[in-house]
């Protein structure tokens, strides 16, 4: 039973639970990570070269996993292919549009991974007789050309696909925000600011996520490379810019939804405002975890102190805090929009179970699968930078 205004009843419920919170969080990680990985190929930012492969591997893992989160909420995931691709609503419904974007993104990503790892796959296929060599032979699709001309052609293809991928990243995660913003029945969701706010926070979470993977991966699991302070500084500077953009949209959202200055409907819906104000159930989540610890404090420390920007320990600590803050943003948006009741006044008391499809165990399992996918892709594709893969003269030829 769900507690409403201190009494128990069944008039209102939280229908979009933890899996739907995880879904926009994962899609934000994939969009932001892809942007980080694509920056090197688009603008030849040499200091981002060591993490370009790692960022794209992480992004691809999150892309596959993002589709699993709503399936966990669907109760009958075995019907997914039929329901999503072959029902009458395809391709006209909002969910069908998501499936179209996701499918195109997967196809574009397969091309991206082919050209990104073609050179290393050919080398591994020649040198490794084990399972990694056999997989590399399959992934190279019979190609054995390692000439300078072919390598330059690979990077030209990566430049084009990176542009397409960034557009798809914006569409993919912006569309998630559109789905929430288009729901007029929920006062805190009916907001045109939600799509750009989702996109900006996705970039924030992606940079922080790649920073965590870079610091942990190159410290604990790398024999070829080490964490470079210059790379950390570029990442953390980029994170500061992304946080400023996110804070701008959060300010607009705060004025619109939390304070209700721009919408009489939201202003009159006092119990919706109460979710985030005063001693409401999401006051601490929003003001402290999402805005204060998640955005303002990391941005201040990275902006003011150069030693912190170049410090591995501080980067891991602050990137983790930023990632938690973005998680709180997704939680506050998905759950906060459902707390105000439609009938009467008051708020729904949310109780997340440990077991069940919408429980903590499902969330732990989804994140565990994501980490496993990153390890699997990293093992077979090779997430570390190979020093001899392409030189600066070749890059200048592009």
- On the question of pLDDT at 368 being above 80, the answer is yes
Encoding tokens for residue 139? 């992934």
H helices of 67-193, in order, are: 68-73, 80-85, 94-127, 131-139, 148-181
Q: What is the 3-state secondary structure (H, E, C) of 301-354?
A: HHHHCHHHHCCHHHHHHHHHHHHHHHHHHHHHHHHHCCCECCCCCCEECCCCCC
Please state the domain extents for the chain.
16-251+277-325+353-397
C-beta of residue 287 within 8 angstroms of C-beta of residue 305: no
User: Under a CB-based contact definition with an 8 Å cutoff, are residues 51 and 210 in contact?
Assistant: yes
Report the range out of 67-71, 287-291, 292-296 with the highest average pLDDT: 292-296
pLDDT one-digit tens code per residue, 209-235: 999 999 999 988 887 778 899 999 999
Strand pairing partners for 253?
none
Mean local confidence (pLDDT), 306-323: 95
pLDDT score of 213:
94
Closest CA to 300 of 361, 236, 350, 206: 236
Q: Report the SS3 class of residue 386.
A: coil
**How far is it, in rounded angstroms, from Cα 48 to Cα 307?**
19
More confident residue, 157 or 351: 157
Predicted local distance difference test score (pLDDT) of residue 5: 39
Give residue-wise pLDDT tens across range 29-72.
998 899 898 888 888 888 888 898 999 999 999 999 888 888 88
What is the DSSP pairing of strand 7-9 with strand 2-4? Answer: antiparallel
Q: What is the pLDDT of residue 258?
A: 53
pTM equals 0.87
| More reliable by pLDDT, 279 or 292 | 292
How confident is residue 387, by pLDDT bands cut at 50, 70 and 90? low
CA geometry: angle at 294 spanning 46 and 172, to 5°?
A: 65
Distance of CA 183 to the CA centre of its chain: 22
CB contact burial 239-255 (16+ within 10 A = b; e otherwise)? bbebbebbbebbebbbe
pLDDT tens profile 109-132: 999 999 999 999 999 998 888 899
Q: 210-231 b/e with 16+ CB inside 10 Å = b?
A: bbbbbbebbeeebeebebbeeb
| pLDDT exceeds cutoff 90 at 239 | yes
pLDDT of residue 349: 74
Q: Contact 394/41 with Cβ under 8 angstroms?
A: no
Cα 144 to Cα 124: distance, rounded to the nearest angstrom? 11
As a whole number of angstroms, the distance between CA 60 and CA 378 comes to 11
The DSSP call for residue 385 is P
pLDDT at 28 over 70: yes
Residue 251 above 80 pLDDT? yes
What's the rounded Cα separation, in Å, for the pair 124 and 203? 33
Quote the CA–CA distance of 236 and 317 in Å, as a whole number: 12
106 — pLDDT class (breaks 50, 70, 90): very high
Q: Of 44, 45, 55, 6, which Cα lies nearest the Cα of 374?
A: 55
In the predicted model, is pLDDT for residue 203 greater than 60? yes
Q: Are 316 and 220 in contact (CB under 8 A)?
A: no
Cβ neighbours for 301, distance < 8 A, ≥ 6 positions apart: 308, 314, 318
Average pLDDT over residues 193-200: 86
Helix, strand, or coil (residue 269): coil
Q: From CA 341, how far away is CA 292, in angstroms rounded?
A: 28
**257 band by pLDDT with thresholds 50, 70 and 90:** low
- DSSP-based helix, strand, coil % in the chain, nearest 5: 70, 0, 25
Q: Would you say residue 393 has pLDDT above 50?
A: no
- pLDDT category, 319, cuts 50, 70, 90? very high
């Amino acid at each position: 039973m769900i507690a409403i205004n201190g009494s128990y009843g069944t008039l209102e419920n939280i229908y979009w639970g933890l899996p739907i919170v995880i879904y926009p969080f994962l899609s934000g990680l994939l969009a932001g990570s892809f942007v980080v990985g694509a920056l090197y190929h688009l603008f030849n930012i040499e200091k981002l070269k060591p993490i370009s492969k790692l960022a794209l591997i992480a992004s691809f893992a999150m892309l596959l996993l993002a589709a699993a989160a709503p399936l966990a909420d669907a109760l009958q995931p075995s019907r997914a292919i039929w329901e999503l691709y072959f029902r009458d609503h395809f391709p006209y419904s909002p969910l069908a549009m998501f499936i179209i974007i996701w499918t195109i993104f997967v196809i574009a990503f397969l091309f991206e991974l082919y050209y990104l790892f073609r050179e290393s796959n050919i080398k591994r296929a020649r040198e490794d007789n084990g399972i990694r060599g056999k997989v590399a032979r399959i992934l190279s699709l019979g190609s054995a050309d390692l000439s300078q001309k072919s390598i330059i052609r690979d990077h030209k293809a990566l430049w084009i696909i990176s542009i397409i991928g960034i557009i798809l990243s914006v569409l993919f995660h912006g569309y998630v925000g559109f789905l929430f913003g288009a729901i007029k029945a929920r006062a805190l969701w009916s907001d045109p600011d939600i799509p750009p706010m989702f996109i900006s926070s996705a970039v924030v979470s992606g940079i922080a996520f790649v920073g965590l993977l870079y610091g942990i991966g190159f410290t604990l699991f790398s024999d070829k490379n080490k964490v470079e302070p210059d790379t950390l500084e570029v990442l953390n500077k980029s994170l500061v810019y992304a946080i400023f953009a996110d804070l701008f949209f959060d300010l607009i959202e705060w004025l619109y939804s939390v304070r209700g200055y721009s919408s009489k409907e939201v202003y009159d819906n006092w119990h919706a405002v109460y979710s985030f104000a005063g001693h409401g159930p999401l006051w601490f989540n929003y003001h402290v975890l999402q805005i204060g610890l998640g955005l303002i404090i990391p941005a201040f420390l990275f902006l003011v102190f150069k030693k912190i920007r170049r410090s591995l320990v501080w980067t891991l600590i602050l990137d983790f805090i930023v990632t938690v803050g973005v998680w709180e943003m997704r939680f506050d948006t998905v759950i906060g929009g459902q707390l105000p009741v439609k009938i009467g006044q008051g708020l729904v008391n949310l109780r997340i179970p440990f077991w069940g499809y919408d429980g903590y165990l499902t969330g732990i399992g989804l994140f565990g699968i994501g980490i496993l996918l990153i390890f699997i892709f990293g093992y077979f594709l090779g997430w570390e930078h190979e020093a001899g893969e392409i030189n600066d003269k070749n890059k200048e030829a592009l």
